[in-house]
Amino acid sequence: MTSVAHLPNKKIIMKLIPNIALKYLKLCRLAVFLSLTSFTFSAMAQEFANWVTGAMDDNEGYFAATVNDSNSIFGQYCYTESNQCLWLLAVNINCEDGSRYPVLINGDGGSAQMEIVCKKLGDKPRYVFSNFDAINNSVKSSKKYIGFAFPLESGLFEVNRFLLDGAPESIGRMKALSNPKKKKNSGGTSSYKL
């Protein structure tokens, strides 16, 4: 039985409620948007600051992703069967399926120009980075944020920014989940035919 003296005081509880509610809201919002991109928010999902790791539909693989205040998604997705990973950006900028577009990237680790490829999921535009290593290095070299500037037909740019706190831990967890455990070599004792 817990005594009243061991319970946290009301001020501490009142300070925690907004933080817990904000984290829950972020998780709920990410769950909704991941479901719209055909990825599930499974019970095994884990939160790392602003990033979440979880399983894709039909256990195709795993993701580590974040959602910004504009409800755009940025993350890495690794497919178990093919052992391939990609960086995906889900923003509300329409595109033609299969077309390539330039994007400017800026973070506290530097700037770069890269190419993204439009992949439509239903009528929803999604963008895959054509050079995995380049975007991966940009994410690794930035610690606080990363931003993407899209040139629009109007002559303007649309900019989307994402926080990176929790990204290394989330990506590390996703990689651990997506790399199946290899059997240790038993010294050649398996049966085989010659």
Residues 6+ positions from 47 with CB-CB distance below 8 Å: 23, 27, 166
- Three-state SS string over 133-180 comes to HHHHHHHHHCCCEEEEEEECCCCCEEEEEEECCCHHHHHHHHHHHHCC
pLDDT tens column, 104-126: 999 999 999 999 999 998 888 99
- Using CA atoms, how far residue 22 sits from 25, 27, 35, in Å, is 5, 9, 20
Average predicted confidence (pLDDT) for the chain: 78
Q: Which domains does the chain have, with CATH numbers?
A: 8-178 (2.60.40.1880)
- Using CA atoms, how far residue 1 sits from 8, 126, 151, in Å, is 15, 53, 62
Tokens 């991941």 belong to residue = 34
Residue 157 phi, psi dihedral angles, 5° rounding: -120, 145
Give the per-residue pLDDT at 123: 85
pLDDT tens column, 168-184: 999 999 998 887 554 34
Task: Pick 17 or 120 by higher pLDDT.
Answer: 120
The token pair that represents 100 in the structure block: 């390539």
